[in-house]
Every structure is written in structure tokens, then in C-alpha cells.
């Protein structure tokens, strides 16, 4: 058996993916933002949505350059990082505050996500990221590696659609946090916003992919890949 290849930048891309994922899910959700856009009017979204799509950019880069199997390891690393961050936030919020510390209420607002929201976020992330990686890998083979923009944007549309369709109903339906009749509007707005971020960042994705393919001497095609998300074999 030939030894596994080593790559110069794979670990850095993985670190970037996990950092963006955990930060957008831990720092962002506590704040709801509303911005007025020309023609579209007021757009309301969780602050984390401004950065979460960047994790899909990293996912696209990983799958395009290194292949689905190596992207799968990174998705699992992100899942583990998100699980630990959620566990740590719950423990820290639950620890009794010192009598002189007066900020427990603010801390609970910022980091005290309910178990339902945390579970919905992790499940939606898991499904959405694997759909994104799978669609990109399959499209790369079908297009013979041409038209990168079609698969980065196409895979993001599929992945973000799954993520949004799962997260919002699972996290908020019947909770009273977001009125049930507003959920479709919020889901649709965030979906288009996230896909829009991917479109805007397409030139950046092209440059990074081209650099990594040259530097790593790798341009993987998933022709015989096992797409089972529950194995870590490459």
C-alpha cells in the first residue's frame, strides 16, 4: 500500500474552516440584524449568517482540490469543534457566578442557546455540508473539471437549501421566538443572502483553488469515492 500523501496547506484550510464555523455559530446567533437594501427593503437575519457562508467557500475549496474524502474529515472536525464549543458554552453559563459579578444575564443572552437550537444547528450543518461537498464532487466529474463557478454556486445552493430547510423549523417552529408565519420569509431571506455571499466570493474562490492546485500538485476527481458520510477512510 502506497503511503498517504502529505499536503502543505490542507491543515491550514481545515483550520480556517473550523474557525469560521465555530465562530459564526457561537458568536453570531445572539444578535439579530436588520438592514435596509435598495429594492429589497428591510432584511432581517442572525449576525452569524454574515460569516457562516464562508465555511461553504472553504468546503468548496477542500472538495475541489483534495476531494470528497478529505473534505469529509474536515466536516467531521468542524462537527466536533462545534459540539465542544456548544458544550463549553452550556457549562460556563450554568456555573454559579461570583456575587460581585453582575453580567450573568448578558452572558446568558450571548451564549445561552437552548439545547433545541444547538441540536438543530448541528444537525442542519452536518446535512448541509455533506450535501454541498457531494454535489460539488459529482458535478466536477460530470463537467470534466470545467466551469468551476457552476459547481461552487450550484453546490452551495443545494447545501444551503438543506441547511435552512432543516434548521429554522427544527429550531424555531412553535417556539414563539420567531412567529411561525414569518419562518418561510426568514428562511428564504437567509438562503438568498448566503448564496449571494458565495457568488460575491467566487473570484476569491477561483484564486485560492488555482493556487492550491499548483502548490499541492493536486486536482482530485471523485470517480471511485465512497460517499458514505460516516466513514473517515480516504
Q: Which of 135-139, 211-215, 229-233 comes out lowest in average pLDDT?
A: 229-233
Q: What is the mean pLDDT of the chain?
A: 90
Q: Which of 57-71, 144-158, 188-202 comes out lowest in average pLDDT?
A: 188-202
Per-residue confidence (pLDDT) for residue 40, from 0 to 100: 67
Q: pLDDT, tens digit, for every residue of 80-112?
A: 999 999 999 899 999 999 999 999 998 888 888
Per-residue confidence (pLDDT) for residue 30, from 0 to 100: 67
The dihedral over CA atoms of 119, 121, 127, 129, expressed in degrees to the nearest 10, equals: -140
- Chain-centre distance for alpha carbon 143: 25
Choose the most confident range, by mean pLDDT, from 93-97, 117-121, 172-176, 230-234: 93-97
Q: Which of 41-45, 65-69, 88-92, 116-120 comes out lowest in average pLDDT?
A: 41-45
Residue 202, exposed/middle/buried by CB under 10 A (0-12, 13-18, 19+)?
middle
Name the phi and psi angles at 178, rounded to 5.
-120, 125
**Residue 156 and residue 136 in contact, taking contact as beta carbons nearer than 8 Å:** no
Q: pLDDT, tens digit, for every residue of 127-183?
A: 999 999 999 999 999 999 999 999 999 999 999 999 999 998 998 888 777 788 888
- The model's pTM is 0.91
Per-residue confidence (pLDDT) for residue 3, from 0 to 100: 56
Per-residue confidence (pLDDT) for residue 1, from 0 to 100: 41
**Residue 161 and residue 196 in contact, taking contact as beta carbons nearer than 8 Å:** no
> Taking the CB of residue 146, how many other CB atoms lie within 10 A of it?
9
Separation of alpha carbons 46 and 54, rounded Å: 15
Amino acid at each position: 500500500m502506497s503511503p498517504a500523501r502529505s499536503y502543505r496547506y490542507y491543515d491550514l484550510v481545515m483550520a480556517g474552516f473550523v474557525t469560521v464555523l465555530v465562530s459564526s455559530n457561537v458568536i453570531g446567533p445572539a444578535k439579530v440584524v436588520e438592514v435596509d437594501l435598495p429594492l429589497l427593503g428591510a432584511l432581517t437575519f442572525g449576525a452569524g449568517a454574515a460569516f457562516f457562508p464562508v465555511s461553504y467557500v472553504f468546503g468548496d475549496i477542500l472538495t475541489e482540490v483534495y476531494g470528497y474524502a478529505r473534505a469529509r474529515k474536515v466536516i467531521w472536525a468542524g462537527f466536533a469543534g462545534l459540539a465542544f464549543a456548544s458544550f463549553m458554552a452550556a457549562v460556563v453559563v450554568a456555573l454559579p457566578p461570583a456575587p460581585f459579578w453582575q453580567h450573568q444575564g448578558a452572558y446568558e443572552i450571548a451564549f445561552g442557546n437552548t439545547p433545541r437550537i444547538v441540536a438543530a444547528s448541528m444537525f442542519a450543518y452536518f446535512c448541509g455540508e455533506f450535501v454541498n461537498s457531494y454535489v460539488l464532487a459529482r458535478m466536477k466529474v460530470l463537467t470534466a473539471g470545467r466551469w468551476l463557478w457552476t459547481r461552487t454556486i450550484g453546490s452551495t445552493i443545494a447545501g444551503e437549501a438543506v441547511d435552512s430547510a432543516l434548521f429554522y423549523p427544527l429550531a424555531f417552529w412553535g417556539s414563539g421566538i420567531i412567529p411561525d408565519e414569518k419562518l418561510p420569509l426568514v428562511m428564504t431571506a437567509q438562503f438568498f443572502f448566503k448564496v449571494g455571499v458565495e457568488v460575491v466570493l467566487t473570484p476569491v474562490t477561483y484564486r485560492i483553488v488555482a493556487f492550491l492546485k499548483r502548490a499541492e500538485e493536486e486536482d482530485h476527481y471523485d470517480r471511485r469515492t465512497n460517499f458514505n458520510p460516516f466513514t473517515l477512510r480516504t
